[in-house]
Amino acid sequence: MTMTMTAIYTDRTSSFPIAPARAAKAVTGDAFRQALSRLAAGVSIVTTTDHDGHNLGLTATAVTSVSLDPPLVLVCIDNRSRTVEPLEIGAPFVVHFLAADQEELARRFASRIPDKFDGVAYKLTAYGCPRLTGALASVECVPHAIYPGGDHTIFIGRVVDVQIDEQGSSPLTYFRNQFLGA
């Protein structure tokens, strides 16, 4: 039996071989965004404080656990966000896992309004971060690692405190560009 080999191309950022047919086809941002909209994601809010003491926050769906020992969490944040700069210089942050009834809060922190904390209930943590009340759970983190990720920055935080709402309500999720509660 005779086998024929096809040429293998290598991506510039990887030594993993890429087949010629795959190398020629580019995936558009719109197609990728549409595909990812089919992935249900939990909705979180990330909060921190800048060097002038201003509270900052944003809504995020790119959040996941990384490790139990040590406890690490990963958050991907758009480079255009005002929250990136304080995190890049080592500010601690809190990740809040939202409950199904917190869609309005998620929309508020996804907006570009100047003071997202106006009228929002929160307390400052030992590290000076705003911890929102009413989340299913929140994890406070200190910086562990930072990586570039295209138009986002990947922040990995070491968890230093955990708060859990013992009432156990349902989570807020995001699917097909819509917030979904239970």
Residue 140 has pLDDT above 60, yes or no: yes
Find out whether 20 and 9 touch, Cβ atoms under 8 Å.
yes
pLDDT digits over 159-173, tens only?
A: 999 999 887 689 998
CA dist 121 and 53 (Å) reads 17
Query: CB neighbours of 130 closer than 8 A, spacing ≥ 6?
Result: 47, 49, 55, 57, 94, 117, 122, 123, 124
CB atoms within 10 A of CB 17: 12
Using an 8 Å Cβ cutoff, are 151 and 139 in contact? no
**Residue, of 174 and 81, whose pLDDT is higher:** 81
Residues 82 and 105: beta-carbon distance below 8 Å: no
- pTM value? 0.83
> Contact, 177 vs 130, CB < 8 A?
no
- pLDDT (tens digit per residue) in 23-39: 557 898 888 888 877 87
pLDDT band at 3 (very low <50, low <70, confident <90, very high): very low
- Determine the pLDDT at residue 64: 95
Write out the CATH class of domain 41-173. mainly beta
Structure tokens at 35: 């595909």
Going by pLDDT thresholds of 50, 70 and 90, the confidence category of residue 90 is very high
